[in-house]
């Protein structure tokens, strides 16, 4: 195998796989990536057996071949060298890398030891099962992950919480104005709901998507489909998604999500990302969302975030607890630590609404949970819907825009 490649191209591709290649030495082959250089297409593959990434690489091919190269060591080399690179495999055990006056000889592994990338067709999966395809705008999926991933569990013993729930349902209230429709590509509009929770807080967002039938003459009419996608995989996937969009989402490139028996495959601009799904039953998130909180308080979102950050400096680090006193026109944030001191800050309430006519209650919160939820909201103002000090609080944008109505955050109170 012989080829040349620019430093920028190789560094970008290696950077993309650094969080996927195995850091431990349990299986040496997983610390390597497979490089396949062929006339029809050249690509690299990295995997940790739970997730896998396959992406094309732009090279100037001189001789075809395949080899498994240590990912981290080559990345360190490429970052330090100057100029373009020339690769030549001596055999399946060694590869020579030349860049300017620098020469490297890297120990490699045979390509036949690398896990095989599964072959999927548009109609059947790894085990021959029927494949379903979801199409959604790249920036839309990026936004949905960005606004929910912070609330997912982190190495939680309740393993189903260590991922985001992707819940596909038939079209309903979200887009009633469009009606239930399908397009010329035999795709039916559905609703994709993405949910994240760690048991103390929950974030939810909804958006329209298309579901494609495996058979051209058949339009899928299933009621729902649920899958739990690992948080680690989604952290990597969002790096390849467009963070722009908004007004031109109908024209931008779509992400294709292929759903198999226990995995999903995402295709983004030619980059393919395969990940196993988390098995188990996700909590019934709809039961968690409060529907009848009578007290509604509107605040400036940015001012609320800044006040929380300042006051929480004096809270106990582990609990990160603050007390919020709600009045008719003023909100007071307080924190205290017997070993350090205390802090207090008042914030103007923009508007209040309560069936009792006035507002007078105190609630304890984890300040970090509030800050992360508020940071995921784009609107200038935010609405807090409250019932009592022991019930969950609902946070949502107070913009009045239709698209913002599809995003909600729920935070449980703390006893302080």
Nearest to 88 by CA among 177, 2, 182: 2
What average pLDDT does this structure show over 41-68?
95
For residue 207 the two structure tokens come to: 């958006």
Instruction: Name the β-bridge partners of 211.
Output: 134, 188
Give the Cα separation of 8 and 82 in Å (integer).
Answer: 10
Where does the pLDDT of residue 24 fall: very low under 50, low under 70, confident under 90, or very high at 90 and above? confident
Q: Which of 111-120, 195-204, 331-340, 405-414 has the lowest mean pLDDT?
A: 111-120
Instruction: Give the pLDDT score at 184.
Output: 47
Residues 174-200 pLDDT 10s: 544 444 455 545 678 899 999 999 999
Start-to-end Cα distance in the chain: 66
Statement: 289-411 belongs to CATH 3.40.50.2000: no
Q: Which of 31-35, 224-228, 245-249 has the lowest mean pLDDT?
A: 245-249
Rounded to 5, what percent of the chain is helix, strand, coil? 20, 40, 40
Q: Which of 69-78, 105-114, 358-367 has the lowest mean pLDDT?
A: 358-367
DSSP string over 261-300:
SSEEEEEETTEEEEEEPBPS----GGGTS-S---EEEEEE
Span 2-113 CATH architecture: Roll (3.10)
What average pLDDT does this structure show over 332-340?
93
Instruction: Give the pLDDT score at 216.
Output: 42
Instruction: Give the pLDDT score at 358.
Output: 74
Instruction: Give the pLDDT score at 360.
Output: 87
Instruction: Give the pLDDT score at 345.
Output: 97
For residue 309 the two structure tokens come to: 């950050």
- On whether the CB atoms of residues 272 and 54 are closer than 8 A, the answer is yes
Whether 365 has a pLDDT exceeding 50, the answer reads yes
Instruction: Name the β-bridge partners of 321.
Output: 366
Residues 298-310 pLDDT 10s: 999 999 999 999 9
Give the Cα separation of 118 and 54 in Å (integer).
Answer: 11
Fold of 132-285: DNA Polymerase III; Chain A, domain 2 (3.10.150)
Q: Which of 69-73, 212-216, 279-283, 360-364 has the lowest mean pLDDT?
A: 212-216
For residue 365 the two structure tokens come to: 């919160």
Collapsing DSSP to helix, strand or coil, 203 comes out as strand
Instruction: Give the pLDDT score at 379.
Output: 92
For residue 382 the two structure tokens come to: 């935010």
Compute the half-sphere exposure of residue 163: CA atoms within 13 Å on the CB side of its CA.
Answer: 20
Q: Which of 65-69, 135-139, 355-359 has the lowest mean pLDDT?
A: 355-359
Whether 268 has a pLDDT exceeding 80, the answer reads yes
Instruction: Give the pLDDT score at 250.
Output: 56
Beta-sheet strand order (sheet of 94-99): 60-63, 2-5, 85-89, 94-99, 102-107
Instruction: Give the pLDDT score at 213.
Output: 59
* Average per-residue pLDDT for the chain: 88
pTM, full prediction: 0.89
Instruction: Give the pLDDT score at 77.
Output: 96
Look at 23 and 248; give whichever has higher pLDDT.
23
Whether 330 has a pLDDT exceeding 70, the answer reads yes
* The dihedral formed by the CA atoms of 192, 397, 289 and 283, expressed in degrees to the nearest 10: 40
Instruction: Give the pLDDT score at 124.
Output: 59
Percent of all residues in the chain with a pLDDT value above 70, rounded to a whole number: 88
What average pLDDT does this structure show over 269-294?
93
For residue 330 the two structure tokens come to: 């003023």
Specify burial of residue 29 (Cβ count, 10 A radius: 0-12, 13-18, 19+): middle
Name the residue ranges covered by the structural domains of the chain: 2-113, 132-285, 289-411
- On whether the CB atoms of residues 67 and 32 are closer than 8 A, the answer is no
Give the Cα separation of 227 and 71 in Å (integer).
Answer: 31
What is the DSSP code (8-state) at residue 239?
Answer: G
* The dihedral formed by the CA atoms of 283, 199, 258 and 206, expressed in degrees to the nearest 10: 90
Give the Cα separation of 366 and 414 in Å (integer).
Answer: 7
Residues 136-151 pLDDT 10s: 999 999 999 999 999 9
H helix runs in 260-406, sequence order: 301-312, 367-375
What average pLDDT does this structure show over 9-38?
91
């Amino acid at each position: 195998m012989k080829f040349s490649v620019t430093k920028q191209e190789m560094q970008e591709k290696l950077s993309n796989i650094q969080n996927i290649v195995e850091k431990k030495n349990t299986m040496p082959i997983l610390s390597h990536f497979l490089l396949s250089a062929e006339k029809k297409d050249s690509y690299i593959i990295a995997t940790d057996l739970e997730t896998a990434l396959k992406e094309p690489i732009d090279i100037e091919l001189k001789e075809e071949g395949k080899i498994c190269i240590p990912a981290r060591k080559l990345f360190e080399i490429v970052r330090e060298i100057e100029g373009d690179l020339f690769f030549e495999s001596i055999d399946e055990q060694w590869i020579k890398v030349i860049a300017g006056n620098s020469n490297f000889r890297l120990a490699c592994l045979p390509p036949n030891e690398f896990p095989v990338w599964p072959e999927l067709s548009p109609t059947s999966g790894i085990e021959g099962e029927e494949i379903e395809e979801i199409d959604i705008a790249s920036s839309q999926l990026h936004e949905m992950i960005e606004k929910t991933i912070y609330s997912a569990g982190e190495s939680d013993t309740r393993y189903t919480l260590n991922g985001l729930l992707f819940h596909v349902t038939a079209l309903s209230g979200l887009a009633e104005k469009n009606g239930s429709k399908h397009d010329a590509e035999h795709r039916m509009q559905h609703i994709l709901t993405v949910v994240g929770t760690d048991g103390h807080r929950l974030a939810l967002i909804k958006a329209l998507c298309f579901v494609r039938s495996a058979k051209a003459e058949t339009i899928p009419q299933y009621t729902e489909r649920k899958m739990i996608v690992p948080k680690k995989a989604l952290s990597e996937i969002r790096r390849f998604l467009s963070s722009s969009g908004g007004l031109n989402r109908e024209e931008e490139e779509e992400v294709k999500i292929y759903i198999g028996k226990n995995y999903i495959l995402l295709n983004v601009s030619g980059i393919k990302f395969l990940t196993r799904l988390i098995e188990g039953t996700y909590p019934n998130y709809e039961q968690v969302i409060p529907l009848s909180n009578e007290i509604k308080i509107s605040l400036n979102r940015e001012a609320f975030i800044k006040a929380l950050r300042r006051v929480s400096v004096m809270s106990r680090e582990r609990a990160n607890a603050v007390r919020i006193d709600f009045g008719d026109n003023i909100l007071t944030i307080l924190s205290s630590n017997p070993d350090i001191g205390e802090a207090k800050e008042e914030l103007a309430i923009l508007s209040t609404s309560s069936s009792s006519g006035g507002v007078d209650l105190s609630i304890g919160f984890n300040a970090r949970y509030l800050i992360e939820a508020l940071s995921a909201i784009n609107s200038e103002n935010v609405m807090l819907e409250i019932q009592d000090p022991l019930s969950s609080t609902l946070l949502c944008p107070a913009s009045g825009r239709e698209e913002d109505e599809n995003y909600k955050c729920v935070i449980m109170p703390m006893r302080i």
